[in-house]
C-alpha cells in the first residue's frame, strides 16, 4: 500500500528531540552489505518475526526499510528512523509495504509518542547501535499498550574468549560501524527493563563474521507484575 505520509504530527514532535548523527556512507552501502545474508537467512528471519506484528506497530531504527514488505497483520506502521541518510532511503521504499506506513524522525531513547500508543514494537539490528539501550527499552515499554509485544532480532555478546575479544574491539568497531556495539547483552537488558521473554532463541547464523555473532530472536511483553521503569528510576 505504501505511504500515508512522512513526518506526521507525531513525527514532527519526535524530530525536535532527534540527535542521531547521519551516516551517509553506511546508509549508501547498507543494503548491499546485507545482500547475501538477506537472501540466505536474514530475510527469512525478518519475515518470521515481523509477521507476528499486529495492531498499531512502531518500528524503531527502521533503516532502509528491509522489514516493510513483511508486515501482514499490522493496522499501521510508524517507521521511526533518526538518521537522515537512512530515512531518505526508507522514504523511497515505502511502496514495499502492504499496510499503511508513516515515517518519523525519532531516536529510540526519546520517542516522543504518547504512553501506551502501540500494540507492537519491532527492533531489528538497532539495540546494538542506540546510544543508551536502557533508556531505549524504557521508552519502548512506556509506549507499549498493556499486553503489547516487543519483537527483537539482534546480534549479541558471545561467551568466553569470543566475548572478551568483542569487548576489546568494540571501541574501534563502533567507530567504523555507525555506532554498532558487538558486545551488548541485549537479552539481559530487555529483562532488566521489565519485560517477560515469551520466546528467546540464540543462534549462529551462517557466514556471519564472528564479531557480530551470536544472534538472538526475542518476543517479549511488559511484565505486568514487575515495577515500571518510572517506578525504579
The site for ligand SAM (CB under 6 A) is made up of 20, 60-63, 66, 81-83, 86, 107-109, 124-126, 129-131, 179
Complex with ligand SAM: residue 62 or 121, whichever CB lies closer: 62
Complex with ligand SAM: residue 79 or 220, whichever CB lies closer: 79
Residue keyed to cell 547521519: 22
Minimal distance, residue 228 CB to ligand SAM, in Å: 21
**Helix ranges (DSSP H) in 93-159:** 133-143
| Residue sitting closest to ligand SAM (CB) | 63
- Residue 200, Cβ neighbours under 10 Å: how many? 14
Nearest-angstrom CA–CA distance, 98 and 81: 19
Nearest by Cα to 33 from 198, 177, 231: 177
Complex with ligand SAM: residue 137 or 191, whichever CB lies closer: 137
Minimal distance, residue 160 CB to ligand SAM, in Å: 26
Grid cell, residue 178, equals 555507525
Nearest-angstrom CA–CA distance, 93 and 110: 25
Complex with ligand SAM: residue 63 or 222, whichever CB lies closer: 63
Minimal distance, residue 227 CB to ligand SAM, in Å: 24
Amino acid at each position: 500500500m505504501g505511504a500515508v505520509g512522512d513526518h506526521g504530527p507525531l513525527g514532527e514532535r519526535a524530530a525536535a528531540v532527534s540527535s542521531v548523527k547521519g551516516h551517509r556512507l553506511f546508509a549508501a552501502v547498507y543494503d548491499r552489505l546485507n545482500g547475501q545474508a538477506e537472501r540466505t537467512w536474514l530475510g527469512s528471519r525478518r519475515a518470521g518475526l515481523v509477521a507476528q506484528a499486529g495492531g498499531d506497530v512502531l518500528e524503531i531504527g527502521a533503516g532502509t526499510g528491509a522489514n516493510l514488505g513483511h508486515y501482514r497483520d499490522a493496522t499501521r506502521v510508524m517507521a521511526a528512523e533518526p538518521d537522515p541518510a537512512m530515512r531518505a532511503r526508507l522514504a523511497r521504499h515505502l511502496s514495499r509495504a502492504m499496510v499503511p506506513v508513516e515515517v518519523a524522525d525519532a531516536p529510540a531513547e526519546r520517542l516522543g509518542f504518547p504512553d501506551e500508543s502501540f500494540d507492537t514494537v519491532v527492533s531489528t539490528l538497532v539495540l546494538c547501535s542506540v546510544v543508551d539501550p536502557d533508556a531505549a527499552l524504557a521508552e519502548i515499554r512506556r509506549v507499549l499498550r498493556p499486553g503489547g509485544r516487543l519483537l527483537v532480532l539482534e546480534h549479541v555478546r558471545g561467551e568466553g574468549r569470543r566475548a572478551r575479544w568483542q569487548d576489546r574491539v568494540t571501541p574501534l568497531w563502533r567507530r567504523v560501524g555507525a555506532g554498532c556495539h558487538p558486545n551488548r547483552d541485549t537479552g539481559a537488558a530487555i529483562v532488566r527493563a521489565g519485560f517477560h521473554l515469551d520466546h528467546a532463541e540464540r543462534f549462529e547464523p551462517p557466514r556471519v563474521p564472528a564479531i557480530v555473532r551470536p544472534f538472538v530472536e526475542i518476543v517479549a511483553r511488559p511484565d505486568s507484575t514487575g515495577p515500571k521503569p518510572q517506578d525504579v528510576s
